[in-house]
């Protein structure tokens, strides 16, 4: 694979004795085995593996602090690893060093149902969390698709299908325990629901992708499990009509929990993969949370608005099994897409624009993609203005990779021109670094670099990510 990556030439030398010290401190929980390093040197991105020199499997914050001090003292890179589900090369060891595997830190530490908060170790995954708190009547809503770790989700500022109602990790992380580059341990905040007491260290670390500190504990907000849940599906003649419906639905104050767009190709893929018979046209998939009568009212308002915009075949899915079938299908859209071209290699885009520009942005993009030499599908978190193009590439054809990269570049330029961003929820990693200057401008990037230097003077924390070389 010829994925473009800078900084590989910067692979650092490991000082003599450095690895031995890790071995003697961690024994079997430190490994330099090729297979272990390979597993920790790749994620779900299209990049080839870039291997760390070794992997430490930590169990406590104190161990993380010990490793950080050791790496900082010897200027060796340190890369936190959660579930390995990142999409943009976040965890690749471009400069070598130590991969810090936090998956063993998987304890739910404190549930406070009356305060709607839970504190977990960074390696707890979102499915595990919801499993463990089910009896409280509360749930954690952020759902990026993959069963990511909470630490990784915080570090990536993840979101997903129900951000339109519940927000992203930015809004839902209340506090973090963080190990600094030099091995100090801080709490970024307390459990108060709001605070004006100084700089917002929580939000400094949320989205910092392991480059400013290592998250070892996460406190997040929880929400009441909705009394009633209902779903609906609606076909539209055009994307424009679908987007206009969503704008009006939000203007009416309908608190939709999810609203997802699929283009015709995505619907076809889902029909084939999940054995459904959805009408093959652009469609919106809705989910409503609330009281039984509230959910009914929401659906009625939505039906009326969609009808006014040319929506057809508005269909309710009230029974849990029907709802679950639809939403499972949506969740499988990625795998369904892959099946459109068995054996393909996939690349996914992630722009997010103001919703008023969404239809225009998707339409221009689709017009270009229709000329591409490979198939694609589009799904979108319409309420947030965020959509993904899944590009299905021939793994043996480097020209198709380059073609897809060019299409993504033009897509990102378009999104930035429309006051949007190159990444709504996947993060920067390696893949989006080239867009950071265009999106933020030199002066804002300089501030980010100043922040990085202030927090990590020896550049040991996940180096070579987020901020492109000046």
Percent of the chain as helix, strand, coil, to the nearest 5: 40, 20, 40
- For residues 158 and 265, which CB has a smaller minimum distance to its own copies in the complex? 158
- For residues 302 and 336, which CB has a smaller minimum distance to its own copies in the complex? 302
- For residues 117 and 400, which CB has a smaller minimum distance to its own copies in the complex? 117
Location of structure tokens 């897409």: 337
- For residues 279 and 440, which CB has a smaller minimum distance to its own copies in the complex? 440
- For residues 4 and 441, which CB has a smaller minimum distance to its own copies in the complex? 441
Please report how close the Cβ of residue 281 comes to its own copies at its closest, in angstroms: 24
Identify each DSSP E strand in 107-227 by its residue range: 108-112, 117-121, 138-139, 173-179, 185-187, 214-221, 223-224
Please report how close the Cβ of residue 269 comes to its own copies at its closest, in angstroms: 26
Please report how close the Cβ of residue 319 comes to its own copies at its closest, in angstroms: 21
Rounded Cα distance, 85 and 83, in Å: 5
Grouping H, G, I as helix, E, B as strand and the rest as coil, residue 68 is helix
Please report how close the Cβ of residue 192 comes to its own copies at its closest, in angstroms: 4
Please report how close the Cβ of residue 210 comes to its own copies at its closest, in angstroms: 12
Greatest Cα-to-Cα distance within the chain, rounded to the nearest angstrom? 71
Q: HSE (CB half, 13 Å, CA atoms) of 107? A: 8
Pairing of strands 108-112, 117-121: antiparallel
Helix (H) or strand (E) holding 399: helix 398-417
Please report how close the Cβ of residue 68 comes to its own copies at its closest, in angstroms: 13
Please report how close the Cβ of residue 451 comes to its own copies at its closest, in angstroms: 6
Please report how close the Cβ of residue 441 comes to its own copies at its closest, in angstroms: 7
* Phi and psi angles of residue 235, each rounded to the nearest 5 degrees, phi first: -90, 150
Helix (H) or strand (E) holding 77: none
- For residues 75 and 296, which CB has a smaller minimum distance to its own copies in the complex? 296
Residues 211/221, Cβ–Cβ less than 8 Å: no
- For residues 52 and 82, which CB has a smaller minimum distance to its own copies in the complex? 82
- For residues 235 and 244, which CB has a smaller minimum distance to its own copies in the complex? 244
Grouping H, G, I as helix, E, B as strand and the rest as coil, residue 242 is helix
Using CA atoms in the order 114, 60, 466, 181, what is the torsion angle rounded to 10 degrees? 120
Question: How far is CA 59 from each of CA 105, 114, 151, rounded to the nearest angstrom?
Answer: 5, 29, 14
Range 367-371, long-range pairs (CB < 8 A, 24+ positions):
368/407, 368/410, 368/411, 369/407
- For residues 43 and 340, which CB has a smaller minimum distance to its own copies in the complex? 43
Please report how close the Cβ of residue 227 comes to its own copies at its closest, in angstroms: 6
Rounded Cα distance, 147 and 298, in Å: 30
């Amino acid at each position: 694979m010829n994925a473009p990556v800078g900084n590989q030439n910067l692979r650092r030398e490991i000082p003599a004795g450095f690895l031995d010290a890790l071995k003697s401190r961690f024994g079997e929980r430190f490994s330099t085995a090729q297979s272990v390093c390979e597993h920790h040197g790749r994620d779900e991105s299209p990049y080839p593996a870039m291997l760390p020199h070794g992997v430490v499997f930590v169990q406590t914050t104190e161990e993380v602090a010990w490793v950080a001090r050791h790496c900082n003292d010897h200027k060796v890179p340190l890369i936190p690893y959660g579930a390995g589900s990142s999409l943009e090369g976040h965890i690749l060891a471009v400069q070598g060093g130590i991969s810090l595997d936090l998956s063993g830190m998987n304890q739910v530490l404190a549930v406070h149902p009356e305060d709607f908060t839970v504190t977990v170790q960074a390696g707890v995954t979102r499915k595990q969390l919801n499993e463990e708190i089910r009896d409280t009547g509360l749930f954690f809503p952020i759902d990026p698709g993959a069963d990511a770790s909470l630490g990784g989700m915080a570090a990536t500022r993840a979101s997903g299908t129900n951000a339109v109602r519940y927000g992203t990790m930015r809004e839902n992380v209340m506090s973090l325990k963080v190990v600094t580059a030099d091995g100090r341990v801080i709490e970024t905040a307390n459990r108060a629901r709001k605070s004006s007491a100084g700089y917002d260290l929580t939000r400094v670390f949320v989205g910092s992708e392991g480059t400013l500190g290592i998250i070892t504990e996460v406190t997040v907000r929880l929400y009441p499990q909705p009394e009633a849940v209902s779903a609906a599906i609606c076909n539209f003649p055009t994307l424009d009509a679908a987007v206009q419906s969503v704008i009006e639905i939000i203007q009416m104050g309908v608190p939709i929990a999810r609203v997802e767009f699929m283009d015709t190709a995505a619907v076809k893929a889902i029909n084939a993969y999940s054995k459904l018979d959805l009408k093959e046209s652009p469609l919106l998939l809705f989910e409503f949370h609330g009281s039984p009568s509230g959910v009914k009212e929401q659906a009625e308002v939505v039906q009326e608005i969609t009808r006014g915009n040319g929506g057809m075949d508005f269909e309710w899915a009230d029974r849990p099994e029907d709802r679950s079938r639809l939403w499972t299908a949506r969740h499988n859209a990625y795998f369904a897409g892959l099946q459109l071209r068995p054996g393909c290699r996939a690349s996914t885009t992630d722009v997010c624009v103001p919703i008023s520009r969404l239809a225009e942005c998707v339409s221009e993009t689709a017009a270009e993609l229709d000329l591409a030499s490979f198939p694609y599908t589009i799904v979108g978190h319409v309420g947030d203005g965020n959509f993904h193009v899944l590009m299905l590439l021939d793994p043996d054809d480097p020209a198709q990779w380059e073609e897809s990269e060019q299409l993504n570049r033009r897509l990102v330029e378009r999104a930035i021109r429309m006051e949007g961003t190159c990444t709504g929820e996947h993060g920067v990693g390696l893949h989006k670094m080239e867009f950071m200057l265009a999106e933020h401008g030199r002066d804002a990037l300089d501030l980010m670099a100043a922040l990085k230097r202030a927090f990590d003077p020896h550049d040991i924390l996940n180096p070579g990510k987020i901020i492109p070389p000046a």
